[in-house]
Chain A
């Protein structure tokens, strides 16, 4: 009220002046005409509508027009969103057909957790009805609206402002208003009364409020975007959609689809039902139970019916188990990678006759990753993609698998084996973890109880948003490199494509670029590498070294495009076009995205484990323990390093060290993370380095270099120690002493030739990281220096300890 007054007061002078102008004009005409117009005196503040017309009228008209215009715009926007939303749902449903089981499984784990929470009226809830395989909850959501909001909803519905306020309520434009929709509709609108800004946020937190937050989140987001149209319309529309969808999709194969359909239907039925409905996808039992309960409220003899059918189907489908899953395992390791295998070995060594079960969603037995981006590419064997054997520099061949299949025992035999053993369950994903009950649930609904559990789920490669948004065509020509199948597919692509672009200048990107660059010399393949930093390994190596390394990479046959930020990617004439932010355009056949790893923390929610916000991954203590009986190791563990502070390390040796430590602690050792892991990288045959600790290019560094001789190459290092994997050379090479060869060196090393040396990374004057640049078999000294954590006045003196001039 007062505000209006002040505003008007401000406008008044303006009004006055313009009115004066008007008057003057009139006067002029008057004079011209010889008549004095009888206008309202200038001094009056014309607050009334009839007042000096022009201005007020103008303002009213303008404001009115603006309102109408914005409303119209919003309406069309929402309508468009609705359409887009529907298309997306269709896309999802087709996608879900391919991976229905997994979706079901994941969703299932979420509902239980979600149900427990949320009951307050969430503004947006309703839209959830959207049936999407990944989001069974949405359907549930609408139904789930708590009773309380229902009442409020009715009045609020009417007061709800136009579309802008109803983000959530959006449902696909299908309008088959069913009677059931009515109660739901009422519930839905309750939130809409909240400010429009909320919708976006609401969509996030718990889309429908009571039920599943997690699955619901994506749904609400979409819903929010889709045109809210009108509360009354939207809710029925959503429900309507699920209804028609449901009858159409009752095929055994399409569990995922039918589940959403059912869910959609059940949603209208009732809140109670909806949650069970969601579970129905992968959990026949709960669904059956919920059905009777659901029957209580609204109509829908129908929705419950399809459910049992679906349940039956899913039940049938979920037990094609060719592998019998053991019901209990004393040691359960989730994830079948390097950390898991190291832990298995450690447990078996320390606990005689231990029974260890590894559960992995990959189809392969545990294998090591480094050769996938290095040695396997240098192999001369044309069948390398099948055998996965690589020849080390010294000629010795080995497989990337840690152990051949005969090392492991069958999971059925695990309980009965006299001396225990290690069993691997492939192709099974753990979707839910019950910490209080000490058991986990797999994606096929079987449960395994454990005494001690290790989570070593690693991570999934990150993708660039521009690529994800670019559509199906671009995604088909993009590789996210991590597993054996990615190696196989990239190998195939490299033999057929003319040009490959690697986005990312870190370890993986640079190694792949060098490996493919090597191949390019033989086959004429064009290899491009682009990254936002100034040089390869820009976040690891100090600038001078990063520049030097980039030159080396270029010499391997790679076209390096530095300081490149990708703006968009399009597919034209079966070729990809990458548009950079600075205007450059790169045309290529295939993209490899090596832009980081997203740690897999899917189980955090169900297990109640903390996730670290700075580094990602599960937060564990110095002994790698998350909670009693649960440890985490490898890429997924954000642990406390007593010397270097909290960190998360994504390297091979760390996976081994932390896996081994976790195994020790699972068998009662209670040792903290103490032995520093190292890592290494090779960039072609001339440049190789080993590193330890925190190696971040933003830290101040001190580099001590000598000139490299022919003896100082990675090739020479492995030949001498007789091992293939660099980190092994330390253990195996215990008894031999370094050969002191005196080779005369030029008096002053060439200024820009960083042949070999040691680089110290300092934090508060203490060495926290060391790189041994083309200097090998000196890791124990480096480890000692970091462990001491002393402030050294002259790092050149410390560098002397490494004997960089000798072999």
Chain B
């Protein structure tokens, strides 16, 4: 059972697991999917790519940002059966650029970068509103990171 204590202006409640098992009666305001103020995920409501998404890390803003944007946009709008198969040129240009900055884009990432960018687009479709927090970790080798391409 929960216990309640008051210490001056502060109220302290101790609860057990059972106390919290019943669903909450607190009401939350409905989210407006078109709220212009909200932070957006990778794909904006109008279908465009949100280059400022923290999930992209520094990919769109670094020295190879332009190449990355070209490749990724091409992939995103690609209507081929094998999505992105018409974008090989852009991806190659991107990889070439990245090879020039091994410090920023470590070798392991390059092979997975094109792969993960494909993964991220699929995922981002699934979660369009991600709470975008600060993302300061960009190009460190973390192959397990999801949306960072």
Q: Is A544 an interface residue (CB 8 A)?
A: yes
Collect the chain B residues with CB atoms within 8 Å of residue A671's CB: 36-37
Q: Is A747 an interface residue (CB 8 A)?
A: yes
Contacts known (A407-B104, A421-B63); A703 close to B25, Cβ less than 8 A: no
* Residue contact B65 to A348, C-beta cutoff 8 Å: yes
Q: Is A36 an interface residue (CB 8 A)?
A: no
Collect the chain B residues with CB atoms within 8 Å of residue A732's CB: 55, 135, 145-148
Q: Is B46 an interface residue (CB 8 A)?
A: no
* Residue contact A734 to B62, C-beta cutoff 8 Å: no
Binds A, one of B14-22, B75-83, B88-96, B107-115: B14-22
Q: Is A672 an interface residue (CB 8 A)?
A: yes
Q: Among the listed A398, A703, A748, A790, which residue makes an inter-chain contact with B10, where contact means beta carbons less than 8 Å apart?
A: A703
Q: Is A254 an interface residue (CB 8 A)?
A: no
Contacts known (A402-B136, A731-B54, A731-B131); A701 close to B66, Cβ less than 8 A: no
Contacts known (A700-B9, A799-B20, A800-B26); A422 close to B61, Cβ less than 8 A: yes
* Residue contact B66 to A728, C-beta cutoff 8 Å: no
How far apart are the CA atoms of A402 and B139 in the complex, in Å? Answer: 9
How far apart are the CA atoms of A397 and B137 in the complex, in Å? Answer: 11
Instruction: Give the residues from 32 to 91 in chain B that come closer than 8 angstroms, CB to CB, to chain A.
Output: 36-39, 41, 51-52, 54-56, 58, 60-63, 65-66, 69
Q: Is A780 an interface residue (CB 8 A)?
A: yes
B120 to chain A, nearest CB (A): 10
* Residue contact A805 to B10, C-beta cutoff 8 Å: no
* Residue contact A790 to B126, C-beta cutoff 8 Å: no
Contacts known (A657-B134, A725-B137, A790-B29); A702 close to B13, Cβ less than 8 A: yes
How far apart are the CA atoms of A801 and B27 in the complex, in Å? Answer: 10
Q: Among the listed B36, B51, B103, which residue makes an inter-chain contact with A349, where contact means beta carbons less than 8 Å apart?
A: B51
Contacts known (A348-B60, A353-B66, A798-B24); A734 close to B55, Cβ less than 8 A: yes
Q: Among the listed B9, B26, B132, B137, which residue makes an inter-chain contact with A675, where contact means beta carbons less than 8 Å apart?
A: B132
* Residue contact A797 to B25, C-beta cutoff 8 Å: yes
* Residue contact A705 to B12, C-beta cutoff 8 Å: yes
A347: nearest chain-B partner, CB-CB: B61
Q: For chain A, what secondary structure do more than half of its interface residues adopt (helix, strand, loop), or is it mixed? A: mixed
Instruction: Give the residues from 743 to 770 in chain A that come closer than 8 angstroms, CB to CB, to chain B.
Output: 744-745, 747-749, 751
Collect the chain A residues with CB atoms within 8 Å of residue B145's CB: 722-723, 732
Collect the chain B residues with CB atoms within 8 Å of residue A407's CB: 58, 62-63, 101, 104
B145: nearest chain-A partner, CB-CB: A732
Q: Is A739 an interface residue (CB 8 A)?
A: no
Collect the chain A residues with CB atoms within 8 Å of residue B27's CB: 790
* Residue contact A701 to B10, C-beta cutoff 8 Å: yes
Instruction: Give the residues from 773 to 791 in chain A that come closer than 8 angstroms, CB to CB, to chain B.
Output: 779-780, 783-785, 787-788, 790
Q: Among the listed B15, B26, B138, which residue makes an inter-chain contact with A801, where contact means beta carbons less than 8 Å apart?
A: B26
Collect the chain A residues with CB atoms within 8 Å of residue B51's CB: 349-350
Q: Please give the residue numbers on chain B whose beta carbons come within 8 Å of chain A beta carbons, in ascending order.
A: 1-3, 7-17, 19-20, 22-29, 36-39, 41, 51-52, 54-56, 58, 60-63, 65-66, 69, 101, 103-104, 123, 126-127, 130-140, 142, 144-148
Contacts A/B (CB < 8 Å), 12 sampled: A346-B52, A352-B66, A406-B101, A656-B133, A660-B134, A700-B9, A706-B14, A706-B20, A729-B133, A734-B123, A735-B126, A800-B22
Please list the 8 inter-chain residue pairs (A to B) with the smallest Cβ-Cβ separation, ordered nearest first: A656-B134, A348-B61, A800-B24, A349-B51, A674-B37, A730-B133, A780-B131, A700-B9
